[in-house]
Chain A
């Protein structure tokens, strides 16, 4: 019986990944990294690491003659039986890096630094440009005035869907009908992205209506003094594919407001031109600073088929 250092290191790394992932799931911190839609898939991943670890464990103490598989130079990938060298050390350090940096560095939320690199105004402008095309196709009078009966306003209820965004087709359509009818629109987490898209594509219809929303504050260098964006990061899969959605907002004495603070604000939609593109701009009439919500990100709606 012989002790194999490298096989032990490999086992340790596999176990480290297993613990790291299970711990993230256990503390729910996994949702700071991925869309909860992929929770089960990620748990499967953690489980596979455990299985691989248990397999690897048997290779640490090798029987004298290894009969299970061929060894030596003829094989075309490294079984981890070779001599330990500096190169190997660097290799294992690299594989271990994610676990180390994940445990040593704090978990943070994406903020305005990333929003700036993502070209946030670029994509807000882009989404506003969807409107021209679709409003042409839109039949006028689809939403006649007598449709606009008073609909009770949801006051940002604690979202039952905090960690996922599934709804049935009926629920989704209910939300969209409500959006068309109400005069004070509340952007809660579940409908944030759907409402955002709808308001952009049919901005004429929403001109003059009031929107209540939460979000973080973001500025771009060419903004006028009273301008800022209130937005949220939309996550499809993981943080790499995030983008900021929200509204360009105006408030006369907003210069004092710091970037990255979270606010709950109410404002009237007014269509204005920014950089040559008409887009819905919120004239803020009421706001207060809030603490960052438990779940800072929003997710696209997934319509459940069943």
Chain B
């Protein structure tokens, strides 16, 4: 019986491979019949480019999430996370700062951690500092601003403080896990008695499911970002921000819709460095990794809408007012 199933599996695999190779050949010959405006082609290139660049990060994130699901139990988490709220927040922000992630890869990881019993405020701290503070981001920021370490330093510093503040507020207002479906009903217990190989296969299966539940939001996010880049003019956008407050708002808006990876956004920020006040450029650098179109959509696949809205407003307000304050000192 088992070997028959194995044969079936192999045959199905081969059949799928054959079908898809056929589809590729058909697609190649169909190409010449499709005529679309050239802007659509440009948008398609940007859309795919964002996805191709994000997919490895998302897949690695999804795998880590799978590993957490199978190998880490609720009891581990209980032991590791400090009972004290403030200590837990501080710890989560520091762990996030040490963890090299990008803003789309980190969402599945946070989801898994929260479902394992990590308090939502600690999850938020991790979510905020993970993509913002890491060696690659520091290096690229340093290089983009003409080897000037000050900008990189301020970016990390203000980002860390904002993350702490946001997590603290969340800890006062949000009590339960905020996941779309109650987390406690998961199936960890089943994995307890499995052997290592079986655990590994379960990890991969969980990763597949995770990929499909994240995937649609990632794709929608990439599509929206590509659309904005193709059809909305940066120049018109930038023209709206001339005052001290409006320039910060404009740069934050730009960071949100461009949805750049935190390791690459410094070069774009640098191209505004002389046109906008330092606080506005800083708001672009701090806000983008914390919140953007792509990762808001991904968060919607994980958390309740109410929480995502609250979280987004909170982060937006925190960055905005922190940067207004920052402006007073520069």
Would A114 and B208 count as touching, CB distance under 8 A? Answer: no
Q: Known interface pairs A33-B52, A243-B267. Does A52 touch B115 (Cβ–Cβ under 8 Å)?
A: no
Q: Which chain B residues lie closer than 8 Å to A116 at the CB level?
A: 233
Would A129 and B209 count as touching, CB distance under 8 A? Answer: no
Would A19 and B21 count as touching, CB distance under 8 A? Answer: yes
The segment from B78-86, B155-163, B165-173, B224-232 that touches chain A is B224-232
Would B268 and A103 count as touching, CB distance under 8 A? Answer: no
Cβ contact of A68, chosen from B28, B202, B231, B273, cutoff 8 A: B202
The segment from A77-85, A146-154, A159-167, A211-219 that touches chain B is A77-85
Q: Which chain A residues lie closer than 8 Å to B24 at the CB level?
A: 19, 23, 103
Cβ contact of A300, chosen from B143, B198, B219, B226, cutoff 8 A: B143
Would A1 and B8 count as touching, CB distance under 8 A? Answer: yes
Would A10 and B45 count as touching, CB distance under 8 A? Answer: no
Q: Taking the complex as formed, is A142 at the interface, i.e. its CB lies under 8 A from any CB of chain B?
A: no
A103 to B186, CA, bound (A): 38
Q: Which chain B residues lie closer than 8 Å to A8 at the CB level?
A: 12, 16
A106 to B235, CA, bound (A): 28
Cβ contact of B9, chosen from A19, A57, A70, A94, cutoff 8 A: A57
Q: Taking the complex as formed, is B190 at the interface, i.e. its CB lies under 8 A from any CB of chain A?
A: yes
Would B219 and A95 count as touching, CB distance under 8 A? Answer: yes
Q: Known interface pairs A56-B208, A240-B226. Does A122 touch B185 (Cβ–Cβ under 8 Å)?
A: no
Would B45 and A11 count as touching, CB distance under 8 A? Answer: no
Cβ contact of A117, chosen from B59, B146, B204, B234, cutoff 8 A: B234
Would A110 and B52 count as touching, CB distance under 8 A? Answer: no
Listed residue (A123, A125, A201) with the most chain B CB atoms within 10 angstroms of its CB: A123
Q: Known interface pairs A10-B212, A61-B8, A239-B46. Does A123 touch B259 (Cβ–Cβ under 8 Å)?
A: no
Chain A binding surface, main DSSP class: helix
Binary interface profile of B, 23-44, with partner A (CB < 8 Å = 1, else 0)?
A: 1100110110010101111101
Would B45 and A107 count as touching, CB distance under 8 A? Answer: yes
Q: How far is the CB of A104 from chain B (nearest CB, A)?
A: 5
A58 to B275, CA, bound (A): 56
Q: Interface size class for chain A?
A: 35 or more
Cβ contact of B47, chosen from A41, A78, A101, cutoff 8 A: A101
A21 to B59, CA, bound (A): 14
Q: Known interface pairs A68-B198, A104-B31. Does A95 touch B215 (Cβ–Cβ under 8 Å)?
A: yes
Binary interface profile of A, 226-260, with partner B (CB < 8 Å = 1, else 0)?
A: 00000000101111110100000000000000000
Q: Taking the complex as formed, is B120 at the interface, i.e. its CB lies under 8 A from any CB of chain A?
A: no
From residue 72 to 116 of chain A, which have CB atoms closer than 8 A to chain B? 74-80, 91, 94-95, 97-98, 100-111, 113-114, 116
21 sampled A-B residue pairs with Cβ under 8 A:
A1-B8, A11-B12, A15-B17, A16-B23, A21-B55, A33-B52, A34-B53, A55-B204, A58-B201, A79-B209, A80-B212, A100-B27, A105-B31, A113-B39, A117-B229, A126-B273, A130-B274, A197-B146, A237-B264, A240-B260, A243-B268
